[in-house]
Amino acid sequence: MTSWSSWVEGELDATRSAGLWREVRSFDALGPAGTLDGRPVVSFASNDYLGLGSHPAVAAGAAAALERWGSSAGASRLVVGSRPVHHELEVELAAWKGTAGALVFPTGFVANLGVLGVVGGPGVTVLSDELNHASIIDGCRLSRAEVLRYRHNDLDHLDALLAEASGRVVVVTDSVFSMDGDVAPVDGLAERCRDRGALLVLDEAHAVLGPEPPALEGLDLLRVGTLSKALGSLGGFVAGSRAFMDLLVNRARSFIFTTGLSPADAGAALAAVQLCRGEEGERLRARLRVVIDQVVPGAPSPIIPIVLGDEDVALAAAAALLERGVLVPAIRPPTVAPGTSRLRVALSAAHTDDMLAQLVSGLALVAPGSTRVAG
């Protein structure tokens, strides 16, 4: 019988042989510029779209919460109770999203696991976009529902599946897709879900510039979000009706059986949401729009994929950019489909014009004539 140590070594060898080896590198940075394994670089890899991860007000929110409540929530919130900052954050998130309530989770990944685990079950059909994030895919697997995938952003295919589905139906999608940077047809999805009586679950993790769901009467809607990207903190949340929030508190295993979000992360996120809802948020979103248009005019999101096809070509392009002091990750299978390996450029309001010029000149050298995924 093969020992566990032999099995592990075999799996590692197979990963290397398949060209899928990955390792975590040390990036010492505050904002986009920093040092990667001793090399000065400008990062175009972060999802800190508004630059709030290094914003003084967000850091101050974390520091104030840390000083008042310490470094840990102590236990599950149902066991030990919530710190006041958790409730303040949930009230602010609900107001921001225009819902009756919100519930905070330790990460956005487990927020999707919690939602889909609660609304799924026998007799439920979940219709999921084929390019949805891994957290949605894993949530669907845990849902115990019948799961059908519809072709990416294809409303006609969704219509056909809705017509055949029986019982309660959930339609789940990213609103901005993390590898392609394109956006879901949210208005069309919302209309179909209302007409069919289906629940619409939108993962808005990357939707820093929208799209916003329409306010349709009779639409059952859950908005899943993250505190870890545009809000510059850590955690996830779900916003929706008060009844749905109460059900999640009582049924979502990834909320019930885990330690609550740390007070510092909650304090940082609270400050970030308050910034986003004010003039500073408007200014940062306007700057982000300018940044995007300097790289790909009119692109719908700050995620710009440069599709190169071959894995080795993408890895070589990323290495060449790094030699020029530009960090752009190569994305390859299994994260994306075979033959669609790419550079994934993530833009931020914190990028300066000089940083953008460095990026654009580097891309022109390492990936001339490349095209981005249509979005």
- pLDDT tens, residue by residue, 6-63: 999 999 999 999 888 889 999 999 999 999 988 999 999 999 999 999 999 999 999 9
Q: What is the dihedral of CA 42, 44, 49, 50, to 10 degrees?
A: 20
**For residues 83-104, average pLDDT:** 98
At 132, list the tokens.
């949805």
Q: Rounded distance, CA 271 to CA 65, Å?
A: 11
**For residues 366-370, average pLDDT:** 72
- pLDDT tens, residue by residue, 255-266: 999 999 999 999
Buried b (16+ CB within 10 A) or exposed e, 254-274: bbeebebbbbbbbbbbbbbbb
Please report the pLDDT score of residue 367 as a whole number: 77
**For residues 100-106, average pLDDT:** 98
**For residues 141-155, average pLDDT:** 97
For residue 64, give the 3-state DSSP assignment: helix
pLDDT confidence band for 300 (50 / 70 / 90) = very high
Q: Looking at the domain covering 24-49+302-366, what would its CATH class be?
A: alpha beta
Please report the pLDDT score of residue 368 as a whole number: 76
Q: What is the dihedral of CA 212, 213, 217, 219, to 10 degrees?
A: -150
pLDDT averaged over every residue in the chain: 95
At 211, list the tokens.
């799209």
Please report the pLDDT score of residue 369 as a whole number: 64
Helix axes 279-295, 263-276, angle to 10 degrees: 80
Q: Is the peptide bond before 334 cis (omega within 30 degrees of 0)?
A: yes
pLDDT surpassing 70 at residue 375: no
User: What's the helix, strand, coil split of the chain in %, to 5?
Assistant: 45, 20, 35
pLDDT surpassing 90 at residue 349: yes
**For residues 221-246, average pLDDT:** 98
Q: Rounded distance, CA 342 to CA 179, Å?
A: 9
Q: Identify the helix (H) or strand (E) that includes residue 141.
A: helix 134-142
Q: Rounded distance, CA 127 to CA 343, Å?
A: 29
Q: Is the peptide bond before 211 cis (omega within 30 degrees of 0)?
A: yes
pLDDT surpassing 90 at residue 191: yes
pLDDT confidence band for 370 (50 / 70 / 90) = low
Kindly calculate the radius of gyration of the chain based on its CA atoms and give it in whole angstroms. 21
Please report the pLDDT score of residue 319 as a whole number: 95
At 130, list the tokens.
């084929």
pLDDT confidence band for 374 (50 / 70 / 90) = very low
pLDDT surpassing 80 at residue 120: yes
What secondary structure does DSSP assign to 197-260, as a single string?
A: TPEEEEE-TT-BTBPPPP--TT-EEEEEEESSSTTSSS-EEEEE-HHHHHHHHHH-HHHHTSPP
- pLDDT tens, residue by residue, 47-67: 999 999 999 999 999 999 999
Q: Rounded distance, CA 197 to CA 252, Å?
A: 23
Place of tokens 């919530």: 82
Q: In 3D, which of 174, 144, 177, 148 has the Cα closest to residue 162? A: 148
Please report the pLDDT score of residue 325 as a whole number: 97
**For residues 178-189, average pLDDT:** 97
Q: Are 348 and 295 in contact (CB under 8 A)?
A: no
Looking at residue 307, the DSSP 8-state letter turns out to be E
**For residues 268-291, average pLDDT:** 98
Entry pTM? 0.95
Please report the pLDDT score of residue 371 as a whole number: 43
- Which ranges of 252-296 does DSSP label H, i.e. alpha helix? 253-256, 263-276, 279-295
pLDDT surpassing 80 at residue 177: yes
- pLDDT tens, residue by residue, 328-340: 999 999 899 999 9
Q: Rounded distance, CA 357 to CA 363, Å?
A: 10
At 17, list the tokens.
């042989």
Please report the pLDDT score of residue 264 as a whole number: 98
Topology adopted by domain 56-276 = Aspartate Aminotransferase; domain 2 (3.40.640)
Please report the pLDDT score of residue 314 as a whole number: 94
Please report the pLDDT score of residue 372 as a whole number: 45
Q: Are 200 and 220 in contact (CB under 8 A)?
A: yes
Please report the pLDDT score of residue 21 as a whole number: 87
φ/ψ of residue 71, rounded to 5: -95, -10
Domain positions in the chain: 24-49+302-366, 56-276
Looking at residue 262, the DSSP 8-state letter turns out to be P
Q: Are 238 and 101 in contact (CB under 8 A)?
A: no
